[in-house]
Amino acid sequence: MNPQSTIAVSTRNPCRMCTPLGAAMVFSGIADAVPFLHGSQGCSTYIRRYLIGHFREPVDIACSNFGESSVIFGGWQNLHTGIHAVIEQYHPRLIGIATTCLAETIGEDIPQMIHRLEQELPEDGPILVSVSTPSYQGSHSDGFHRAVKAVVEKLAQPGPAGRHINVFSGMICPEDIRHLKDIFAEFGLQATLLPDYSDALDSGIWNRYEKNIESGTPIESIRRCGQAQATIEFSATGDFSTSAGETLLRRFGTPLYMLPLPVGVRQCDTFFERLSVLSATEIPARFTAQRSRLIDSYVDAHKYVFGKKAVLYGPADWVAALAIFLCEIGMVPVLCAAGDHKGTLQEHLREHLPGTMDSITVVEDTDFASIEQMAAGLKPDILIGDSNGYKMSRNLNIPLVRLGLPIHDRIGASRMTAIGYQGTQQLFDRIVNTILEHQQDNCSIGYTHL
Amino acid sequence: MNPQSTIAVSTRNPCRMCTPLGAAMVFSGIADAVPFLHGSQGCSTYIRRYLIGHFREPVDIACSNFGESSVIFGGWQNLHTGIHAVIEQYHPRLIGIATTCLAETIGEDIPQMIHRLEQELPEDGPILVSVSTPSYQGSHSDGFHRAVKAVVEKLAQPGPAGRHINVFSGMICPEDIRHLKDIFAEFGLQATLLPDYSDALDSGIWNRYEKNIESGTPIESIRRCGQAQATIEFSATGDFSTSAGETLLRRFGTPLYMLPLPVGVRQCDTFFERLSVLSATEIPARFTAQRSRLIDSYVDAHKYVFGKKAVLYGPADWVAALAIFLCEIGMVPVLCAAGDHKGTLQEHLREHLPGTMDSITVVEDTDFASIEQMAAGLKPDILIGDSNGYKMSRNLNIPLVRLGLPIHDRIGASRMTAIGYQGTQQLFDRIVNTILEHQQDNCSIGYTHL
Amino acid sequence: MVHLARHMQEKYGIPYIHVSYFGIQDMSRALYDVAEFFADNEVLERTQSLVRQEIQRVMPEINRYRQDLQGKKAGIYTGGAFKAFSLVDSLRLLGIQTAFVGSQTGGPEDYQRLEAFCDEGTIIVDDANIMELVRFAQETRIDLFIGGVKERPVAYKLGIGFCDHNHERKISLAGFEGMLNFSREVHATIMSPVWKLIDSRNRQAGRN
Amino acid sequence: MVHLARHMQEKYGIPYIHVSYFGIQDMSRALYDVAEFFADNEVLERTQSLVRQEIQRVMPEINRYRQDLQGKKAGIYTGGAFKAFSLVDSLRLLGIQTAFVGSQTGGPEDYQRLEAFCDEGTIIVDDANIMELVRFAQETRIDLFIGGVKERPVAYKLGIGFCDHNHERKISLAGFEGMLNFSREVHATIMSPVWKLIDSRNRQAGRN
């Protein structure tokens, strides 16, 4: 018995962001909605600061600004005042209330408070949606999924069946959202993407100061989620507890397709073939051409990546999708490190990567101190994950391909795509060229032709 | 008087490729056409090898395979045999014959040989187009433009005026060609892009072995160039001697718009506004949104690039367009080095960059030995050009953003875009992130947030 | 910090003086104050010599920037009011006029002092929200906004240069070298040509 | 090269021997030939010891690759015929069968020797053009093509692994270390999973 195994080790440099951050992203991506944190002002400042650093866009997050007395007497008064202030300032149609550690720890009864608020608000007042997101329970990715589920639970209505498709993409970058919308349009499918922060968190230059809450998924579309032809939800880990698609399946019988994130040829094929079935049309030529060129580029570069070892870190859904993509191109994801905890990552990879699991270490609920320690022993050729891995990259002299959130030491986080054949192409090129650059720059003779 | 100024200095590491290479690219981008070099086999091997290294695609270039006797008695017999072999093997509709140094030096009378060949070929035999491309006269870029002009001179026919637009883009990457086609389609404009090697030099995986000559600009479309509404030709240096648009203007009165390469907001604006006028429609929302987000990203990154010094090298047209783009974002193109010789680069930049020429050195017809020597003194922050600058980049420890041809030490040369708001966005991100990466990696404390 | 110093004085008798290290004026004053505290001629002389050297070192570059920046306008919004004085002063050295200045936590006394310290016409702002700041910024047509990191994207969206002053900065603003850093950054953000691209099509008012 | 050596022998009486450094067999043979030339027992012993050490060093890794590669098929097309022998031999060491082999400049004698050297059923190709090579490659369903850099993209387009042998290589193929390099590269290109993506939709014949 290892005596150390019973000692609780504190988290050192967590490989995840706070849970309400994900919820705030979701509420930012709903039209006429305002994200609202129930807790102290530091939490909203921290989250705004990270979202601003990543997206480089104005981000508005309201807060109930807990003080000492709120902690003692409860936050009802602050919530009440805050909600009314938000209504006065923004005239929103929805307020998305995410709780913080503090609010959850003192045991705030949010459903009851929402009920009280709803009773006093006028008929045409904003919809109030709440989601429980203490950071000691889950990651920013969990907060994201839970917020989508909370919105759908509150809003989705029964009604006559339509042809539209619900798309719960999980946390992807704005350019990937735009690409998804293009894909559905090209298939002739009407899609409700929830959330859609492709404008709110990646807008162009403004003509005048805006409150920046108009863009995003329309509330009417969310109401009609229960009448959709089907739901597509990107999730590799099959976590029903945070699945909005599960809510719709259970309540309205809406068929649910839980697909892996469409990264890499095979995972994209699964997605595109599903769209082909749902739309009863062939896959449009534009995408088959992208697919063919993507495979052509795989072939062109296959010797540069074969057997190359990668360390992946981030949310489990992303780590799973990336690991399967890397194996498809001949790389070995020697360490698959999820910052969140699903408990299913190992099993999912074993199922999709039979026979290669011997060379793959899977960990969940880990931190950067552990990842770096393991990575040092595994001697990988590349790291793939968010900017928080830069310190490790520098310590180990292993190049880092930035993907995920936060990315605060490069520009264009909103455009670091991975979704679809097109996004995969960009990611693939970045991975291969990062490997080539490192080899070339560290080669004593300096290759000029490769 | 500097006595050295009278001493002829030999070229050391030329900053250009051979002239017929450009011509071969043009003929590769015409449907059912085969490029044919009149000269010795080494020339076609060299050019194939460079094009293969850059595009990572099969490249077929026929050759008249000069031997010792051809040099003494002339290459007629070889040309004759070669052309007939090409006809038998490929059944082409056009053969594009580019001369080499050797053929030109021994004074081959190509027009007369073409005439003889045409007389003996059957009615439905291939069209023969020839272009004079000795490498002691011009660069690959000149060879490219001259071949376009030669094709247009041979094929364009008078006829009833149409609404279509001729587009002579010069040497741009396949993805940029596809983007140009998308742009014209979105404006509802029918365009003849000459050449169009977006498939021939960037195809997907094949189902079966192909001769790979079917794709490209249709010969019928080239015939109708003289009946177009207008010609758009990308050229910053206004060189009429290699302008196919000039041929059409002179012969058929086709209005000619010689525009800079659409790189950067302003040069793109000029292009998009022209298309708006030609199509009598508003600029589509997709592009105004791209423009707005591009400017937004300029703003987000403006402090990272302000005053940063760049050394640019490559063909004059590209150097000109890039210099103007860099000034637009606040960088200083301290050295603008053209490998070819137009004689107009300095003047063009002076006209477009008034007041900043004091800090810009302009050279034409230069080589890498000279560029490196100058660059060492100028202490730039970044180099922009093809892979042949890697040695300089390594020697001077200045990062290189790869653009142009050849790019043989990275994958995806076909996708390194620069054209339109979309291509500019990709180029801009690459430039900024290369600067940030170099700063971060060379910073003793290692920035994590920027 | 002042609280801590006062406490140490009361409890242990350690004297303190109140200085600002931001801006050439304040930095020089701070050095002299320290030197004067010790009332030692040699220290004073060495301090004078140091200040002279440093000013000679940094002023040529600062003067070059001033040529570009003369007549530009700025808005300042800080956490505490104390920093605002140094910023107004440093901008003045660069030829930049402060169009409005305010803080989140300043008291009436601070604002009176600020009003006296600033040029005539400078608007003094007390605890404004972002929409009010935007209104001031647009009405006064400033070229530069100095605020916290979270105001940055709003300034950028509106086509206004920006410099942050808060604790997350990587490049120091303190001391003579800090003044150079500040000048470079202010110069870069105001003189960047990217704003022209916004003016040309998007900006409403006739600002150029 | 042989021309030069012969000339030097004729003119200066410098003897020469003809060796290949490519492949374990040839490399060992070359070392022994040199040792035997000097007819010195000590040299011979040291050579034997070196060859034994080197083979012990490289074979475990090569054996690992052979486990994956056993039964795969290759096509070879070289400039001169000489190199072809070494390649057939090296592939054999990796368990790979040569389905066809040819060269641009080989003579009748070379081809006779090649035929004898290769396994039964190996097609001997004389000066083929690319279309003929493609036909052979598809008919014999090879997993690997060994040719010059310019054949690479054609092999790739058809979904066939590739290894080049010409002068532009950056990674050496000569000697024992070169055999390791060769084995790694052949293993990488044949075992890469990317080919499966071509099979699944695009490849006509039932090759898997």
Q: How far is CA A353 from CA A91, A335, A357, A359, in A?
A: 50, 14, 7, 11
Chains B and C physically touch (3 or more Cβ atom pairs below 8 Å): yes
Is A284 part of a structural domain of the chain?
Answer: no
Q: Which residue has the higher pLDDT, A315 or B1?
A: A315
Mean pLDDT of B439-447: 82
Residue D102 falls within a domain, yes or no?
yes
Q: Is residue D26 part of a domain?
A: no
Extended beta strands in A169-321, E state: 191-193, 230-234, 256-259, 309-314
Asked if the C-beta of B293 comes within 8 angstroms of chain C's C-beta atoms, the answer is no
Q: What type of residue sits at position B408?
A: H
Query: Which residues of chain A lie closer than 8 angstroms to D159, CB-CB?
Result: 299
**Interface contact B300, partner A, CB < 8 A:** yes
Q: For A110-160, where are the E strands, in sequence order?
A: 127-131
User: Does position D5 have pLDDT exceeding 80, yes or no?
Assistant: yes
- Is the pLDDT at A65 greater than 60? The verdict is yes
CATH number for the domain that contains residue D70: 3.40.50.1980
Task: Determine the distance in angstroms separating the CA of C156 from the nearest CA of chain B, rounded to an integer.
Answer: 6
Asked if A209's CB is within 8 angstroms of C138's CB, the reply is yes
The count of structural domains within chain D is 1
d(CA C156, CA A57): 9
How many whole angstroms from its chain centre is CA C74? 10
- Quote the CA–CA distance of A284 and A187 in Å, as a whole number: 7
Q: Last residue of some domain: A279, A312, A336?
A: A279
Q: B304: number of CA atoms within 13 Å, CB side?
A: 24
Give B381-426 pLDDT, tens digit per residue.
999 999 999 999 999 999 999 999 999 999 999 999 999 999 999 9
Q: Is the pLDDT of residue C73 over 90?
A: yes
A4 belongs to a structural domain:
no
Interface check for A73 against chain B (CB to CB < 8 A): the answer is no
Answer whether residue A7 is part of any domain: no
The answer to the question of residue C69 being in a domain is: yes
- Segment of A349-363, A424-438, C104-118, D159-173 carrying the highest mean pLDDT: A424-438
The token pair that represents A417 in the structure block: 């795509």
Q: A115 and A184 share a domain?
A: no
Report CB contact under 8 Å: B306, C156. Answer: no
Distance CA A60, CA A197 (A): 13
**Mean pLDDT over the full length of chain D:** 88
pTM of the complete model beyond 0.90:
yes
CA distance A150 to B331: 48
| Residue ending a domain, choose from B132, B155, B178 | B155
Within-domain flag for C101: yes
Domain assignment present for residue B175? The answer is: yes
Kindly state the percentage of chain D with pLDDT values over 70. Answer: 94
Decide if B14 is inside a domain: no
Is the pLDDT reported for residue B1 higher than 60? no
In this predicted model, what pLDDT tens digit does every residue of B101-127 receive, in sequence order?
Answer: 999 999 999 999 999 999 999 999 999
DSSP designation for A126: P
Q: Do B449 and C185 touch (CB under 8 A)?
A: no
β-sheet with B165-168: strand ranges across:
B191-193, B165-168, B230-234, B256-259
List pLDDT tens digits, range A374-394. Answer: 999 999 999 999 999 999 999
Give the CA dihedral D123, D126, D132, D138, nearest 10 degrees: 20
Residue B138, both tokens: 């011009």
- What is the ipTM for the molecules in this complex? 0.94
Q: Give the number of residues written for chain B.
A: 450
Q: Check CB contact under 8 Å for D157 and B209.
A: yes
Q: Is the pLDDT of residue A151 over 50?
A: yes
Chain A, 79-138: which have a CB under 8 Å from a chain D CB? Answer: none
In the chain, the amino acid numbered B366 is T
Q: Does the residue A106 lie in any domain?
A: yes
Residue B107 φ then ψ, to 5°: 75, 40
Partners of C195 in the beta sheet? none
- The CATH number covering residue B382 comes to 3.40.50.1980
Q: Is A81 within a domain?
A: yes
Longest Cα separation, chain B: 75
Instruction: Report cis status (omega within 30 of 0) of the bond before B126.
Output: no
Residue A447 confidence (pLDDT) = 67
pLDDT tens digits for range C118-156: 888 899 988 788 888 888 998 999 999 999 888 899 999
pLDDT in tens, B257-316: 999 999 999 999 999 999 999 999 999 999 999 999 999 999 999 999 999 999 999 999
Residue B283 touches chain C, beta carbons under 8 Å: no
Query: What pLDDT digit, counting tens, does each position of A289-306 carry?
Result: 999 999 999 999 999 999
Tell me if C23 is assigned to some domain.
Answer: no
Looking at residues A20-41, what average pLDDT do you find? Answer: 97
Question: What are B370's two structure tokens?
Answer: 């000279």
Of B202, B410, B448, the CB nearest to A436: B410
A261 and A362 within one domain: no
Question: Which residues of C fall within a CB distance of 8 Å from B421?
Answer: none
Residue of A265, A300, A307 lying closest to D188 (CB–CB): A307
Are C189 and B329 a contacting pair at CB < 8 A?
A: no
CB contact under 8 A, A207 and C204: yes
User: Are the C-beta atoms of residues B259 and B274 closer than 8 Å to each other?
Assistant: yes
| Beta strand segments in B317-392, E | 332-338, 361-363, 382-385
Closest CA relative to residue B25, chosen from B37, B42, B13: B37
How far apart are the CA of B409 and the nearest CA of chain A, in angstroms? 5
Question: Contact at 8 Å (CB) between A204 and B289?
Answer: yes
| Closest alpha carbon to A254 in A230, A278, A223 | A230
Phi then psi dihedrals of residue B67, to 5 deg: -115, -170
Residues in chain D with CB shorter than 8 Å from the CB of A330 are 188, 191-194
Answer whether residue A356 shows pLDDT above 90. no
CB-based contact A351:A331 (threshold 8 Å): no
* Contact call for D150 and B209, based on CB within 8 A: no
**If DSSP codes are grouped into helix, strand and coil, which group holds residue C116?**
helix
Residue pair A329/A353 in contact by the 8 Å Cβ criterion: no
**Residues of chain B neighbouring C168 (CB-CB closer than 8 A):** 449
Least confident of A233-237, B89-93, B183-187, B206-210: B206-210
Q: Is residue D54 part of a domain?
A: no
**Chain A residues inside the 8 Å CB shell of B396:** none
Q: Where in the sequence is the domain holding D88, given as residue range(s)?
A: 61-197
pLDDT, chain A, mean: 94
At C27, give phi and psi (nearest 5°): -65, -45
**Residue B286 near residue B296 (C-beta atoms within 8 A):** no
Q: For a pLDDT cut of 90, what percent of chain A falls above it? A: 87
Q: Which member of A298, A300, A306 has the closest CB to residue D197?
A: A298
Q: Let me know the angle formed at the C-alpha of A204 by A198 and A210, rounded to the nearest 5 degrees.
A: 90
What residues in chain C have their Cβ under 8 A from chain B's Cβ atoms?
153, 156-157, 159, 168, 170, 185, 188-189, 191-195, 197-198
Helix (H) or strand (E) holding B441: helix B420-441
Residue A76 · residue A113 · CB < 8 Å: yes
Ranges of beta strands (E only) in A264-331 are 309-314
A59–C contact, CB cutoff 8 A: yes
Give pLDDT, residue D81.
81
Is residue C107 scored above 90 in pLDDT?
A: no
Mutate to test the interface with D, among A267, A296, A299, A432 (most CBs of D within 10 A): A299
Mutation choice for B interface testing from C67, C171, C192, C199 by most B CBs within 10 A: C192
User: Nearest residue on chain D to A296, judged by CA atoms?
Assistant: D157
**Cis amide leading into B195 (omega within 30):** yes
3-state helix, strand, coil in chain C (%, to 5): 60, 15, 30
| Chain A residues lying within 8 Å of B368, measured CB to CB | none
Beta strands in B244-340 (DSSP E): 256-259, 309-314, 332-338
Can you give the pLDDT at residue B209?
Answer: 73
pLDDT of residue D126: 83
Chain A residue closest to C151 (CA)? A58
pLDDT computed for residue A448 by the predictor: 62
Q: Is the pLDDT of residue B184 over 70?
A: yes
Residue D149 CB neighbours (<10 A): 19
Beta pairing class for A165-168 and A127-131: unpaired
Rounded (10°) angle between helices A19-28 and A140-155: 50
Quote the domain boundaries for residue A275.
165-203+212-279
Q: Are residues B329 and B409 in the same domain?
A: yes
Sequence-ordered list of residues with C-beta below 8 angstroms from that of C87, at least 6 positions apart, any chain: C22, C23, C76, C78, C98, C101, C146, C165
Q: Are residues A312 and A382 in the same domain?
A: yes
Distance from CA of C33 to the nearest CA of B (A): 33
| Residue in A45, A57, A206 closest to C158 by CB | A206
Domain shared by B304 and B428, yes or no: yes
pLDDT digits (tens, 9 = 90+) for D119-131: 888 999 887 888 8
Q: For residue D138, give how far its alpha carbon lies from the nearest alpha carbon of chain B (Å).
A: 9
Beta-carbon separation of D194 and A330 below 8 A: yes
Taking the CA of residue D75 and the nearest CA in chain A, the distance in Å comes to 18
pLDDT tens across D19-51, in order? 889 889 889 999 999 999 998 999 999 999 999
Q: What is the pLDDT averaged over residues A406-414?
A: 96
The closest CB to that of B299, out of C156, C168, C188, belongs to: C156
Tens-digit pLDDT profile for residues A121-148 = 999 999 999 999 999 988 999 999 999 9
For residue B5, the model assigns a pLDDT of: 54
- Residues B428, B303 share a domain: yes
Record: contact D194-A303, CB cut-off 8 A: no
pLDDT at C199: 65
Determine which of D129, D150, D195 to mutate to test the interface with B (most B C-beta atoms within 10 Å): D150
A354-377 burial, b at 16+ Cβ within 10 Å, e below that, comes to: eeeeeebebbbbbbbbbbbebbee
Domain contains B288: no
Q: Please name the residues between 105 and 164 in chain B that touch chain A, using a CB distance below 8 Å.
A: none
Answer for the pair C25, C55: CB distance below 8 angstroms, yes or no: no
Nearest Cα of chain C lies from the Cα of A50 at a distance, in angstroms, of 10
Say if C30 falls within a structural domain.
Answer: no
Q: Tell me whether residues C194 and B330 touch, CB distance under 8 A.
A: yes
Tokens of A423: 């996004």
Q: Are B411 and A301 in contact (CB under 8 A)?
A: yes
Same domain membership, residue A150 and residue A117: yes
D83: left (phi over 0), alpha (psi -120 to 50) or beta: alpha
Residues B321-363 pLDDT 10s: 999 999 999 999 999 999 999 899 999 999 999 888 889 999 9
Among the partner residues D153, D170, D188, nearest to A306 by beta-carbon distance: D188
Q: How many inter-chain contacts (B to C, CB under 8 Å) are there?
A: 45
Contact of B265 with chain C, judged by CB distance below 8 Å, is answered with yes
B292 contacts on A by Cβ (under 8 Å): 203-205
The whole-number average pLDDT for the span A171-185 is: 98
Contacts of D61 in chain A (CB under 8 A): none
Q: What is the pLDDT of residue C106?
A: 80
Same domain, yes or no: A318 and A385: yes
Smallest CA-to-CA distance from C117 within C91, C143, C94 is with C91
Distance, in Å, from the CA atom of B384 to the CA atom of B337, rounded to the nearest integer, reads 10
Q: How far apart (Å, rounded) are the C-alpha atoms in residues D83 and B324?
A: 53
Residue B183 carries which DSSP code? Answer: H
Indicate the number of domains in chain B.
3
Beta carbons of D197 and A328 less than 8 Å apart: yes
| Nearest residue in chain B measured CA to CA from C152 | B300
Give the closest of D159, D168, D185 to A303, CB-based: D185
Q: Which of the residue ranges A188-197, B4-13, B241-250, D132-141 would you say has the lowest mean pLDDT?
A: B4-13
Amino acid at site B142: D
Residues A151 and A169 in one domain: no
Q: Which residues of A touch B300 (CB under 8 A)?
A: 56, 411
DSSP A334-394: EEEEESS--S-HHHHHHHHSTT-GGG-EEE-S-BHHHHHHHHHHH--SEEEE-GGGHHHHH
Joined tokens for residue A135: 């950071």
CA distances from A317 to A60, A235, B449 (A): 27, 6, 26
Burial class (CB in 10 A: 0-12, 13-18, 19+), D208: exposed
